[in-house]
C-alpha cells in the first residue's frame, strides 16, 4: 500500500468517527419573467448524510482562517467543517449539523479548500455560517 493510500485510509477513519451531518442541495429559479423577482430555491435530489468534524473558526492556529478573518470574509462565530474530499459541496448547499439536525448552515464560497495528494482528494475544509432562521431566503 502506498503512502497516499495509507493517508486516505487514515483520514477517512478519522472522519468516520466524527459527527453526522446532512447535505441538502437546492436549485434556483426566478418566480416569473420579471427581472426583479426573488429567486425561488427548490430542494433537488436526496439528502446526503456523511460524518466529519467541525470546530469554531480559530485564526490563531490556522493561517488561512486568519487571512479570511482579517479580510472580513469569515467571522469568529463561523465554523470549520472537515469532511471527505469526494463529497460535493458546490452549488447552493445547506449543511445540517448533527443527527437529528440541531442547526442549519450554509457554505461560505471563499472558504472551501480540497487537500490533494498525488491526484486524490484526501479531505476538504469548508467554512460554514449559521442560517439564523434555519432556511435560505426563497426556500420552498
pLDDT in tens, the chain (140 residues): 788 788 888 888 888 888 999 999 998 776 666 666 667 888 898 999 999 999 999 877 777 788 888 888 899 999 999 999 889 898 889 999 999 999 999 999 776 889 888 888 889 999 999 998 877 776 75
Cell triple for residue 64? 488561512
Question: What is the structure's pLDDT at 121?
Answer: 87
Kindly report whether the global pTM for this prediction surpasses the value 0.75. yes
Question: What is the structure's pLDDT at 80?
Answer: 93
**Cα–Cα dist 129/107, whole Å:** 7
Question: What is the structure's pLDDT at 140?
Answer: 59
Closest CA to 103 of 79, 139, 73: 79
Cell triple for residue 36? 426583479
Neighbours of 40 (CB within 10 A): 16
Amino acid at each position: 500500500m502506498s503512502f497516499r493510500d495509507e493517508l486516505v485510509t487514515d483520514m477517512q477513519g478519522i472522519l468516520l468517527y466524527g459527527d453526522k451531518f446532512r447535505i441538502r442541495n437546492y436549485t434556483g429559479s426566478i418566480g416569473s419573467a420579471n427581472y426583479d423577482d426573488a429567486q425561488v430555491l427548490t430542494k433537488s435530489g436526496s439528502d446526503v448524510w456523511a460524518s466529519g468534524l467541525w470546530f469554531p473558526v480559530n485564526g490563531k492556529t490556522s493561517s488561512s482562517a486568519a487571512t479570511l478573518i482579517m479580510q472580513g470574509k469569515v467571522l469568529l462565530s463561523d465554523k470549520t467543517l472537515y469532511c471527505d474530499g469526494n463529497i460535493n459541496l458546490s452549488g447552493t448547499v445547506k449543511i445540517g449539523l448533527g443527527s437529528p439536525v440541531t442547526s442549519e448552515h450554509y457554505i461560505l464560497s471563499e472558504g472551501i479548500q480540497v487537500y490533494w495528494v498525488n491526484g486524490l482528494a484526501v479531505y476538504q475544509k469548508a467554512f460554514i455560517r449559521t442560517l439564523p432562521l434555519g432556511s435560505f431566503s426563497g426556500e420552498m
